[in-house]
Chains A and B, each alone.
Chain A
Amino acid sequence: MLNIDFAELEEKISNEELTFRNAIAKEAIKNYSSLDFPNNKDEEWRFTNISQLMKHDFRFISGSSDINRNDIKKFLLGEIFKYQFVFVNGKFIKELSSDVRTQNIEIANIDTAIDNNTELFKKHFAKYAKSKVNYFSALNSTNINSGAFINITDNSVIKEPIHLLFISDFKRKTLVQPRNLFLAGKNSQATIIEHYAAFNDNIYFANAVTEIFVGENSTLNHIKIQEESRNSYHISETAIEMERSSNFESAAISFGGEISRNEINCKFNGQGCEATLNGLFMLDDTQLHDTHTSIDHAKPYCNSHEQYKGILDGKSRGVFNGKVIVRPNAQKTNAFQENNNIILSNEALVNTKPQLEIFADDVKCSHGATIGQIDQDSMFYLKSRGIGEETARKILIHAFASDVVKSIKVNGLRDYLENILELRFNKEK
């Protein structure tokens, strides 16, 4: 178990009345206590060694930060969105955020939403994440201290992207636990950006859980950018529940952290769903990134497309595990999965594993994985045009990353990411 002191929390809960919040925490502490800290003997963690997390004494959030509007500018996506929500060190910063509650959309601090515990909120909250089996999701539920509740009401089309910005500026080893719940009502449409960033290179642990309910015939676009502090740890579960004829498109871009892991669990609860899961991670030095996806084709006539790409330099480690389950009645399923990695050094390493469990007979499923170096024929072609080694290399890495970045439809965000890629490549040897 992690070195986290629960005594105070447990005492506080036992002394108070059993509110919705306390009930969740109580249940979570029970789950958490019954689970073991993951190690390499656990198949789901076979290639992802997180034992160094145990070396730190993380404390729950306390204290505040004196960050102002100017400081966060560099994390804004080129323009100030109408729907901008900023959390600094886990705290919702009202002055830096737009408060929205219209008949089409409601965005609230998760704390407030838990306290209000409306019927709608209770119907969906803590229902999709795997808190009973996932050690870190259980931990998240014990003490939720950051995050947003977003509700797009039925038939609402929200054109402007919703930008949730989680900034870390911790002065000591802290455990921050963002928790989000996004609901897309029937026939609704929206784009939500979940963005994790840091002001310094400090050590902290962000343990995030995001639950997403994609209502009937709705379209939800979800982009996660993880540019946490270089020395931090970021572990997350994103659980997506999809209703009939709904559409979910996502991109997860990971640059930061010493160790980071995205677990993405997507379930089709009705026919005719379509899920597109894209991702890109870029690592250097001793960084480790792990993407675990699981797509549950529980119903027929659903499509899933996955494309994850990795760029690894230094002694970095990449892990990809893509599970696809096609249930016995899920006929006419299309499930395509691809994982491509490019290795720029002699010491970087990738472990990639497709995991297809198919119980229906009229389905199309494919998977592919590649691990390679920069293509020498392409290098020669560029050089033969007068382009030098350095530039040619940059062009080819950039090109490798570009189809994931190009799949992002928010212009400001695409430029923002292009810029990060650019800076990253200029640093390359």
Chain B
Amino acid sequence: MMLEIKNLHVNVGGKEILKGIDLIVNAGEVHAIMGPNGSGKSTLAQTIAGKQDYEITKGQVLLEGKNLLELSPEDRAREGVFLAFQYPIELPGVSNTNLLKTALNEIRKYRGLEAIDTMEFLTLIKSKMKLVELEQSLLSRAVNEGFSGGEKKRNEIFQMAVLEPKLAILDETDSGLDIDALRIVANGVTKLKSKDNATIVVTHYQRLLDYIIPDFVHVLYNGRIVKSGGKDLALELEERGYDWLKEDKELIAG
């Protein structure tokens, strides 16, 4: 098992947002988590990555059996978790290259590997840039500063490609993208997929799933996973919206 989430409850600002999440993700799988605004999708993504100020009141999150909740955000990343941010942060004064090299080396150090050789690093990032069709000039620019929305999202996938995580969580990476950028991002993700890693795609729209075919689709509503299924569930959601689930949910609750 790559990721196992058991009965996870999370409070944000004193309010319970996640109300008992159970999820199992195996290596080689792609899971889509869908749901209306405010259902807790981003909270779940950020909780796995280790966002501060999120109060975990109950439950467990295990990565290959290791308790992630005991680890700092940086150690989770070093263990192989990667979060592609819904709103990537702009870091004026920090070059993309510097960020990646520092990150890569800290991860390698954690795993007992030597720092990467400069030439090797350059070769690596060049090959990964092609994957997301990023222009080389973006490398020396400050992280995300003055990037278009599409460039920011592609930059997230580029970072993911360089850091080669075991578990990648894409938080609404498709939101706000035009169809070309969406295709590039999705292609990048698909190419990075292997039998040894797993991907969780958090999305609001079914559209992304035309390009990244999920093995499982889960619907998150009001802090709980209310329905799980195959990729057809996404199509059904696209057609019928979320309201029918809300009704179902009330039935369940009733």
Contact = CB atoms under 8 A, between A and B. Distances in A.
A384 B93 contact: no
Contact of A387 (B51, B85, B103, B142): B103
A386 B103 contact: yes
Contacts of B83: 384
Interface stretch (B71-79, B124-132, B180-188, B190-198): B71-79
A378 interface: yes
A154 B78 CA distance: 61
Given A380-B51, A380-B73, A381-B85, A403 B93 contact: yes
A395 B102 contact: yes
B74 A389 contact: yes
Contacts of B110: 386
Interface residues of A, number: 23
B77 A383 contact: yes
Given A377-B89, A384-B50, A385-B163, A391 B106 contact: yes
Contacts of A388: 72, 74, 106
A385 B89 contact: no
A387 B93 contact: no
Report whether over half of chain B's contact residues are helix, strand or loop; otherwise say mixed: helix
Interface in B126-148: 142
A371 interface: no
Report whether over half of chain A's contact residues are helix, strand or loop; otherwise say mixed: helix
A389 B75 CA distance: 10
Given A399-B92, A400-B93, A402-B93, A384 B52 contact: no
Interface residues of B, number: 31
A382 B94 CA distance: 11
A380 to B, nearest CB: 6
Contact of B91 (A378, A384, A386, A403): A378
A399 B103 contact: no
A385 B52 contact: no
B116 interface: no
A385 B94 contact: no
Interface in A257-291: none
A383 B91 CA distance: 13
A128 to B, nearest CB: 35
A384 B76 CA distance: 8
Contacts of A332: none
A383 B89 CA distance: 12
A376 B89 contact: no
A385 B93 contact: no
A402 B92 CA distance: 9
A424 interface: no
Contact of B74 (A377, A383, A395): A383
Contact of B49 (A384, A396, A400, A402): A384
A213 B94 CA distance: 37
B199 interface: no
B115 interface: no
Nearest to A394: B102
A385 B103 contact: yes
Given A384-B77, A389-B74, A376 B52 contact: yes
A400 B106 CA distance: 22
B92 A386 contact: no
B43 interface: no
Interface in B93-108: 93-94, 98-100, 102-104, 106-107
A398 interface: yes
A378 B52 CA distance: 12
A384 B94 contact: no
B159 interface: yes
B92 A403 contact: yes
A387 B107 CA distance: 8
Interface in B46-89: 49-52, 72-74, 76-78, 82-83, 85, 88-89
Contacts of A391: 102, 106
B50 to A, nearest CB: 7
Interface string B156-177: 0001000100000000000000
A237 B35 CA distance: 63
Contacts of A378: 89, 91
A378 B73 CA distance: 13
Contacts of B85: 381, 384
Central interface residue in A392, A398, A400, by most chain B CB within 10 Å:
A392
Contacts of B107: 386
A382 B89 CA distance: 9
A386 B93 CA distance: 19
A386 B163 contact: yes
A282 to B, nearest CB: 15
Contacts of B106: 386-388, 391
8 tightest A-B CB contacts, nearest first: A399-B93, A386-B77, A402-B93, A385-B103, A383-B73, A381-B89, A386-B107, A383-B74
5 contacts: A378-B89, A380-B50, A384-B74, A384-B82, A387-B77
Interface of B: 49-52, 72-74, 76-78, 82-83, 85, 88-89, 91-94, 98-100, 102-104, 106-107, 110, 142, 159, 163
Given A386-B106, A386-B110, A386-B163, 7 more contacts: A380-B50, A383-B77, A384-B49, A388-B74, A395-B94, A396-B94, A401-B93
Interface of A: 376-378, 380-389, 391-392, 395-396, 398-403
